[in-house]
Amino acid sequence: MFKRKHRLAKTTSVVAALKNGRGFFNPEINIRFLPTVGMDPKFTIVVSTKVDKRAVRRNRLKRIIRELINQNLTGIRPGDYVIMLKPRAAKVEEALLLKNLLTSLVGWGLLRKNVTITKQN
């Protein structure tokens, strides 16, 4: 779980990021990013039942995304992030999903380039 200062928990904040934030897309993940000045980055991860009917699998996807973000937190641009997984995210291997997410974040300019992928158990 994210520390409290890194959680985007209020409904109004999530709606504002969805409505006014810039969208970034790849085949597995949609991200809405609303820049904030001088604040810590805040995240929420959304995995609907369309991705997988089993809560265990949806929670596993959220956990691995959270862990990747926590490992690279210092290199992430300040702002509000709403990370939404698409149904294809459940079909790809976890390592490939994480690699695609990191590559996309660097390519979109949301993460500095000197990041590393650590092996997930």
The per-residue pLDDT for range 87-120, each reduced to its tens digit, is 999 999 999 999 999 999 999 999 987 655 555 5
Percentage of the chain with pLDDT > 90? Answer: 75
Query: Residue 73 belongs to what domain range?
Result: 4-107
The answer as to whether 69 is a domain residue is yes
The answer as to whether 75 is a domain residue is yes
DSSP secondary structure string for all residues of 54-102 = -HHHHHHHHHHHHHHHHHTGGGBPSEEEEEEE-GGGGTS-HHHHHHHHH
The enclosing domain of 56 has a CATH number of 3.30.230.10
Binned at pLDDT 50, 70 and 90, residue 4 comes out as confident
Q: Residue 117: what pLDDT?
A: 58
The per-residue pLDDT for range 51-83, each reduced to its tens digit, is 999 999 999 999 999 999 999 998 999 999 999
How many domains would you assign to the chain? Answer: 1
The answer as to whether 118 is a domain residue is no
The answer as to whether 55 is a domain residue is yes
The answer as to whether 15 is a domain residue is yes
* DSSP 3-state of 49: coil
CA 79, chain centre distance (Å): 12
The answer as to whether 11 is a domain residue is yes
Beta bridge partners of 22: 33
The answer as to whether 112 is a domain residue is no
Q: What is the pTM of this model?
A: 0.86
